[in-house]
């Protein structure tokens, strides 16, 4: 594997880990605020799917914001 391919792989894994951490954090805070299960069984209702999508979008926006403000180091 060349260095460039290895850097892409590292970037993908790092981005996935950061996003999963942010998803867990946003979901936890949202769960505490609303006292609802954000990350329940997605197949049980369309509303659970919409909530999960909202949490994912919020996590991605938060990651972008933190990278832009130089709080979170940017990945390759």
Lowest-confidence region among 5-14, 18-27, 34-43, 46-55: 34-43
Is the overall model pTM greater than 0.75, yes or no? no
> Cβ distance 52 to 42 under 8 Å?
yes
> Cβ distance 14 to 75 under 8 Å?
yes
> Cβ distance 50 to 36 under 8 Å?
no
- Beta-carbon contacts of residue 30 (< 8 Å; ≥ 6 apart): 36, 38, 55
> Cβ distance 28 to 21 under 8 Å?
no
């Amino acid at each position: 594997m060349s260095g460039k391919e290895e850097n892409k792989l590292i970037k993908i894994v790092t981005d996935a880990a950061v996003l999963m951490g942010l998803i867990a954090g946003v979901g936890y805070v949202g769960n505490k605020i609303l006292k609802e299960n954000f990350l329940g069984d997605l197949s049980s209702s369309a509303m659970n799917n919409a909530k999960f999508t909202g949490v994912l979008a919020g996590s991605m926006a938060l990651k972008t914001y933190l990278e832009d403000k130089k709080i979170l180091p940017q990945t390759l």
